[in-house]
């Protein structure tokens, strides 16, 4: 049994004062109101909150998953992002050939079979994307889906979570339903779809929108586009938001959150290998990218993923958008857990939930991270 005394506890729903959280193995067993720590060697923290969940992580610590789609790369990425409060993530493979997709699939399946802490599943970002909205993706890797080949890359859903970002106008009718029938979570992104096409994709089972505003048709007066569909609330969908101040203007973030509601907005990083490293220039899918002023770009200025971590995303959401700390913390934990349908295990500090938590100081900077009851970062 291990215990942590929190001067302030955000349990995923509300703030509580002076609480002792006790956990055994990978589960929380009790939360008690106590005026003081029960023993002198107990961890005492300013703020204890549910650990962050990131559904869009390309790399970290000098490692890009596309470059090294291996078990050791996954371990490295989890280790790096733990220092920023991330306790569970979806390693993300940017559009690549089927050989690399297969290697990534095998590595993630092995990680899931070994119950590797911090790995939830696999996110294929592409390759079924629209070249018109390709962003930094290599156009020669974008293609139509081949269900025969693809079927061999979907059984990750038997072990963990599977997420596929696609452009609905680039796939045949019925393809989204086919993916959903294989337990894939479909997200719309890198798309030139009309509003009507995006809404039809949602009605077919698409559940999310990848990095809202970026690489998708904008909201205009006579064509609401993918952004307009994303901000609809009739059907429950979740929007990934890169809150770094570069991908989305703070005013646009405020407008989107006001329209969609915090309950269906989730913070994502889209982090590449620069996060947790000192590199300023690095190779990226056959290109060179530069890191400067909190962003990473190709030589022509195209954003190449991000240099964002989840703790910074939380702080930015509080200070750039004016949302409450509770709302920002939920957007980093409970909302992505709901999107992935794992909110019975993650996103709250409650009895029998996973002991995956983050200790923060009063400036919302990470002091310590626990993943499944074990210290993943901090002392």
What residues are labeled active site?
270
Q: Which helix (H) or strand (E) holds 284?
A: strand 281-284
Q: Look up residue 218 and give its DSSP letter.
A: P
| 283 three-state secondary structure | strand
Residue 182, judged by CB atoms within 10 A of its CB (0-12, 13-18, 19+), counts as middle
- Is residue 204 within 8 Å of 178, Cβ to Cβ? no
183 phi and psi, to 5 degrees? 65, 25
Question: Residue 96 and residue 164: Cα distance in Å, rounded?
Answer: 13
Could you give the C-alpha distances from 63 to 59, 71, 137, 274, 288, in angstroms and in order?
A: 5, 12, 18, 8, 15
- Is residue 223 within 8 Å of 202, Cβ to Cβ? no
Question: Residue 224 and residue 240: Cα distance in Å, rounded?
Answer: 18
Chain CA centroid to CA 25, Å: 25
At what angle are helices 250-260 and 310-321 packed, to 10 degrees? 90
- Is residue 156 within 8 Å of 122, Cβ to Cβ? yes
Task: Establish whether the linkage from the previous residue to 127 is cis, with ω within 30° of 0.
Answer: yes
- Is residue 86 within 8 Å of 300, Cβ to Cβ? no
Cα dihedral 261, 169, 202, 306 sign: negative
Using alpha carbons, select from 378, 369, 345 the residue that is nearest to residue 27: 345
Question: Residue 266 and residue 329: Cα distance in Å, rounded?
Answer: 10
Using alpha carbons, select from 53, 125, 7 the residue that is nearest to residue 313: 53
């Amino acid at each position: 049994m291990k215990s942590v005394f929190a001067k302030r506890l955000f349990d995923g729903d509300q703030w509580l004062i002076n609480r002792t959280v006790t956990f055994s193995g990978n589960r929380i067993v009790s939360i008690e109101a106590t005026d003081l720590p029960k023993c002198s060697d107990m961890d005492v923290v300013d703020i204890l909150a549910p650990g962050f969940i990131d559904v869009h992580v390309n790399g970290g610590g000098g490692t890009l998953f596309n470059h090294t789609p291996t078990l050791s790369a996954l371990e490295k990425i989890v280790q790096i992002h733990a220092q920023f409060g991330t306790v569970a993530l979806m390693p993300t493979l940017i559009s690549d050939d089927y050989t690399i997709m297969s290697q990534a699939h095998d590595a993630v399946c092995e990680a899931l079979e070994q119950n590797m802490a911090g790995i939830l599943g696999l996110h294929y970002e592409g390759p079924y994307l629209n070249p018109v909205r390709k962003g930094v993706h290599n156009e020669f890797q974008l293609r139509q889906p081949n269900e025969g080949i693809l079927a061999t890359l979907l059984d990750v859903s038997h072990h963990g979570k599977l997420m596929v970002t696609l452009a609905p106008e680039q796939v045949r009718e019925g393809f989204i339903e086919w993916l959903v029938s294989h337990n894939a979570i479909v997200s719309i992104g890198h798309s030139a779809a009309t509003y009507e096409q995006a809404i039809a994709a949602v009605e077919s089972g698409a559940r999310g929108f990848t990095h809202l505003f970026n690489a998708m048709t904008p909201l205009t007066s006579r064509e609401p586009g993918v952004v307009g569909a994303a901000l609809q609330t009739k059907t429950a969908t979740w929007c990934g938001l890169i809150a770094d101040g570069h991908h989305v203007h703070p005013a646009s973030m405020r407008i989107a959150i006001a329209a969609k509601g915090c309950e269906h907005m989730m913070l994502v990083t889209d982090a590449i290998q620069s996060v947790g490293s000192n590199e300023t220039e690095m190779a990226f899918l056959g290109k060179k990218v530069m890191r400067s002023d909190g962003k990473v770009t190709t030589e022509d200025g195209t954003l190449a993923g991000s240099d964002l971590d989840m703790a910074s995303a939380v702080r930015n959401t509080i200070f750039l958008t004016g949302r409450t700390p509770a709302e920002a913390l939920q957007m980093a934990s409970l909302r992505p857990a709901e999107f992935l349908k794992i909110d019975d295990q993650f996103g709250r500090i409650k009895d029998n939930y996973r002991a995956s938590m983050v200790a923060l100081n009063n400036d919302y900077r990470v002091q310590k991270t626990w993943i499944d009851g074990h210290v993943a970062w901090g002392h």
